Amino acid sequence: MRVMAAPRKYPDELRERATRMAVELRQDPATKQGAIARVAEQLGMHPETLRNWVRQAEIDGGTVKPRVVV
């Protein structure tokens, strides 16, 4: 029996746009605090979802190292 992956809740275009918006706001010290929560609210998604996307984008871009769980 073949297991099908669940469809993504958010399209890739929204994921990319939301991540880009949050990253840009976080670069400015005046808007850094609460940037992810504000963008998530504007786009109607849970802040942790966006936080995970931003974290992964930072890892993929080499800005931060992945967390190691021991």
User: And the tokens for 62?
Assistant: 């080499």
Q: What is the pTM of this model?
A: 0.79
The answer to whether 19 and 57 have CB atoms below 8 angstroms apart is yes
Residue-wise pLDDT for 2-58, tens only, equals 777 777 889 999 999 999 999 999 999 998 999 999 999 999 999 999 999 999 999
Number of domains into which the chain is organized: 1
Handedness of CA 13, 32, 46, 67 (dihedral sign): positive
Phi, psi values for residue 37, rounded to 5°: -60, -40
Do the domain assignments include residue 5?
Answer: no
The answer to whether 35 and 22 have CB atoms below 8 angstroms apart is yes
Do the domain assignments include residue 2?
Answer: no
CATH at 24: 1.10.10.10
Question: How many residues does this entry show for the chain?
Answer: 70
